[in-house]
C-alpha cells in the first residue's frame, strides 16, 4: 500500500529554519498538502498544491516539491509554530488518500 514518509520529530531554536520532508513514490505526479495540528486542536491547512500558502498563514511558511520529496519550510520558526505537521496526498491511481505519519516540531 502507498505510504508517505515523514521524520517523526525535529527540533529547532526560535529564528532558525525548519525543513520538514515528506517522501512518496507518487509525489512526482500528485500534489502534496501540509496540515498543522496544535495540541488539542483540529488540523489546519498550511500549504496546498505543493507550494500555495493557505489564507491567513504567515509568509514564513512555504512549500516545495521535487521528485519523490515534498518539503515544508518554516523560515524563522516561532515558538507558536510548535505543532504536529502532516503531509497528505493521494496514490498514483487516485484511489487512496494518505496522510504521512506526522512530524512533531519543537521550537525552543
Residue for cell digits 521524520? 7
Q: Give me the least distance between CB of 59 and other proteins, in Å please.
A: 19
Q: Give me the least distance between CB of 13 and other proteins, in Å please.
A: 26
Site residues for other proteins, 63-102, by CB under 8 A, read: 86, 88-90, 94, 96-102
Helices (H), 6-63: none
The answer to whether residue 35 forms part of the interface with other proteins (CB under 8 A) is yes
CA dihedral for 31, 2, 23, 14, sign (positive or negative): positive
Contact residues for other proteins, defined by CB under 8 A: 30-31, 33, 35, 37, 42-45, 48-49, 54, 86, 88-90, 94, 96-102
Amino acid at each position: 500500500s502507498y505510504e508517505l514518509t515523514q521524520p517523526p520529530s525535529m527540533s529547532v531554536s526560535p529564528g532558525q529554519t525548519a525543513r520538514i520532508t515528506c517522501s512518496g513514490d507518487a509525489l512526482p505526479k500528485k500534489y502534496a498538502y501540509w496540515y498543522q495540528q496544535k495540541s488539542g486542536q483540529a488540523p489546519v491547512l498550511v500549504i496546498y498544491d505543493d507550494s500555495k500558502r493557505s489564507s491567513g498563514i504567515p509568509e514564513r511558511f512555504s512549500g516545495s516539491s521535487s521528485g519523490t520529496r515534498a518539503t515544508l519550510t518554516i523560515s524563522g520558526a516561532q515558538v507558536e509554530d510548535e505543532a504536529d505537521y502532516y503531509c497528505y496526498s493521494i496514490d498514483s491511481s487516485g484511489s487512496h488518500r494518505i496522510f504521512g505519519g506526522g512530524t512533531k516540531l519543537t521550537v525552543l
